[in-house]
């Protein structure tokens, strides 16, 4: 009985919830009906008993609704808080796009209204409207692309943003982000658009896969290298035997995969300083993939080399001194690049052909 009293003492009824959250009774019950919160129902009287966790969720819902996020997006955030940056970024882009359109519309309406006293006929009005452009021009996207770059940097390095940072690490992160911004309008533009094309839940799922893979690579010792190299062989042979995965790879390699891989190499020096775990990840990946490449260049590995050459058809760069693309291919089936079927990848590339 004591335990039950303590449990009841940690809950509250609707009147207190209204006072704490600033929400109306109707709104609170609406969120219950929409499964945004699930307070316990007292079996004796049928009343809802709200916990502090329910109050916290209602507070989050209220604030995010004020920011214009949809209930569907908020529900996803409540389910997986790590997707929050992606949904905020999505809303920022939507608001920025609306703002630019509204600003352009106001400007054009103001100009048009100044000419209206001269308008004597529908023909004149049609002529005036013909010279009116209510659509914002491409240069106004600079601010959105800057936010795209920050999202891109966060996606690429999310596995290493899990610890408090020192002032120096914050300095390094600013350099990495700035470098990403500088490339977001050129070689990383398609990767940035690709992140916008898929859902935050999908991104989060692949982040989890990548995180687990990273942790495995980070933990490797020299004694583990031969065994890990064998795993790479098996995974790459599976890739070479899967025509659908190869098709996806070839579609995305030049516009997305290769530019992103080269960019990651270009900032790897900063990242190795930013997070000690990344240094181990980078060095272990490089070492194991180099061992695999050496094997492929040997007589013993000639068959594997021929199989992979046929599968890659030239779309795998192992000549730059960093062989990480072999690791990308080995884990391709669980990566962000494999989320879409080939036909949707083609549609994405067609819709963004001017972004290359």
Q: What is the CATH number of the domain that holds 8?
A: 1.10.1660.10
Q: What is the pLDDT at residue 166?
A: 81
Instruction: For residue 261, tell me if it sits in a domain.
Output: yes
Instruction: For residue 90, tell me if it sits in a domain.
Output: yes
Residue 223 has pLDDT above 70, yes or no: yes
- Residues of the domain holding 46: 2-66
Are the CB atoms for 84 and 77 separated by under 8 Å? yes
Q: What is the pLDDT at residue 9?
A: 47
Q: What is the pLDDT at residue 62?
A: 94
- 338 with 192, same domain: the answer is yes
Q: Among residues of the chain, what percentage have pLDDT more than 90? A: 50
Lowest mean pLDDT across 126-135, 179-188, 258-267, 293-302: 126-135
- 60 with 120, same domain: the answer is no
| DSSP state at residue 40 | E
Residue 6 has pLDDT above 50, yes or no: no
What is the three-class DSSP state of 331? coil
- Mean pLDDT of the 184-188 span: 88
- 161 with 115, same domain: the answer is no
Tokens of 334: 């669980």
Q: What is the pLDDT of residues 261-291, one digit of tens each?
A: 999 999 999 999 988 889 999 999 999 999 9
Could you give the number of structural domains in the chain? 3
Confidence bin at 158 (pLDDT 50/70/90): confident
- Mean pLDDT of the 48-60 span: 92
Residue 323 has pLDDT above 90, yes or no: no
Q: What is the pLDDT at residue 5?
A: 39
Q: CA 279, CA 277: separation in Å to the nearest integer?
A: 5
- Mean pLDDT of the 125-148 span: 65
Instruction: For residue 71, tell me if it sits in a domain.
Output: no
Q: What is the pLDDT at residue 137?
A: 55
- 156 with 295, same domain: the answer is yes
- 259 with 224, same domain: the answer is yes
Are the CB atoms for 157 and 188 separated by under 8 Å? no
Q: What is the pLDDT of residues 72-125, one digit of tens each?
A: 899 989 988 877 877 886 787 677 667 767 877 887 788 777 766 666 778 777
Match 């000639």 to its residue by tokens. 302
**174, burial (CB in 10 Å: exposed 0-12, middle 13-18, buried 19+):** exposed
- 260 with 316, same domain: the answer is yes
Residue 182 has pLDDT above 90, yes or no: no
Instruction: For residue 11, tell me if it sits in a domain.
Output: yes
- Mean pLDDT of the 202-216 span: 84
- 164 with 91, same domain: the answer is no
- CA–CA distances in Å: residue 80 to residues 62, 85, 98, 118, 213: 17, 11, 27, 58, 20
Residue 354 has pLDDT above 70, yes or no: no
Mean pLDDT of the chain: 85
Q: What is the pLDDT of residues 232-259, one digit of tens each?
A: 999 999 999 999 999 999 999 999 999 9
Residue 1 has pLDDT above 50, yes or no: no
- 313 with 236, same domain: the answer is yes
Q: What is the pLDDT at residue 331?
A: 96
Q: What is the pLDDT at residue 66?
A: 93
Instruction: For residue 93, tell me if it sits in a domain.
Output: yes
- Mean pLDDT of the 170-180 span: 85
Match 């009005």 to its residue by tokens. 125
- 122 with 145, same domain: the answer is no
- 122 with 147, same domain: the answer is no
Instruction: For residue 77, tell me if it sits in a domain.
Output: no
Confidence bin at 2 (pLDDT 50/70/90): very low
Residue 159 has pLDDT above 80, yes or no: no
Backbone phi, psi, residue 224, to 5°: -85, -15
- 220 with 180, same domain: the answer is yes
Are the CB atoms for 89 and 151 separated by under 8 Å? yes
Q: End of a domain among 66, 94, 114? A: 66
- 129 with 144, same domain: the answer is no
Instruction: For residue 73, tell me if it sits in a domain.
Output: no
Residue 216 has pLDDT above 80, yes or no: yes
Q: Among residues of the chain, what percentage have pLDDT more than 70? A: 86
Instruction: For residue 202, tell me if it sits in a domain.
Output: yes
Q: CA 159, CA 153: separation in Å to the nearest integer?
A: 11
Residue 4 has pLDDT above 50, yes or no: no
Which are the contacts of 180, defined by CB distance < 8 A and separation ≥ 6?
A: 149, 150, 152, 153, 156, 188, 263, 267
- Report which of residues 9 and 71 the model is more confident about: 71
């Amino acid at each position: 009985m004591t335990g039950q009293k303590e449990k009841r003492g940690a809950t509250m009824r609707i009147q207190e919830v209204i006072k704490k959250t600033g929400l109306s009774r109707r709104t609170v019950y609406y969120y219950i009906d929409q499964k945004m919160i699930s307070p316990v129902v007292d079996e004796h009287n049928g009343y809802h008993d709200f916990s502090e966790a329910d109050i916290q969720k209602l507070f989050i819902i209220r604030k995010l609704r004020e920011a214009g996020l949809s209930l569907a997006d908020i529900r996803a955030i409540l389910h997986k808080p790590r997707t929050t940056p992606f949904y905020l970024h999505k809303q920022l882009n939507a608001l920025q796009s609306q703002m630019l359109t509204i600003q352009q519309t106001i400007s054009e309406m103001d100009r048009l209204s100044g000419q209206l006293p001269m308008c004597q006929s529908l023909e004149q009005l049609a002529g005036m409207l013909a010279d009116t452009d209510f659509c914002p021009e491409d240069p106004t996207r600079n601010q959105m692309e800057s936010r795209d770059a920050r999202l891109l940097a966060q996606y690429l390095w999310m596995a290493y943003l899990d610890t408090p940072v020192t002032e120096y690490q914050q300095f390094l992160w600013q350099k990495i982000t700035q470098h990403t911004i500088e490339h977001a309008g050129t070689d990383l533009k398609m990767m940035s658009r690709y992140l916008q094309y898929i859902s935050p839940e999908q991104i989060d799922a692949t982040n989890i896969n990548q995180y687990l893979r990273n942790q495995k690579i980070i933990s490797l010792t020299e004694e583990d290298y031969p065994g890990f190299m064998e795993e790479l062989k098996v995974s790459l042979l599976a890739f070479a035997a899967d025509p659908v995965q190869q098709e996806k790879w070839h579609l995305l390699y030049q516009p997305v995969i290769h530019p992103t891989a080269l960019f990651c190499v270009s900032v790897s020096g900063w990242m190795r300083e930013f997070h000690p775990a990344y240094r181990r990840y980078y060095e272990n990946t490089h070492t194991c993939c180099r061992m695999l490449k050496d094997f492929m260049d040997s007589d013993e590995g000639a068959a594997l080399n021929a199989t992979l050459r046929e599968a890659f058809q030239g779309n795998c760069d192992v000549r730059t001194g960093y062989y990480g693309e072999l690791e990308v291919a080995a884990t391709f089936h669980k990566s962000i690049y494999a989320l879409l079927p080939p036909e949707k990848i083609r549609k994405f590339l067609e819709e963004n052909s001017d972004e290359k």
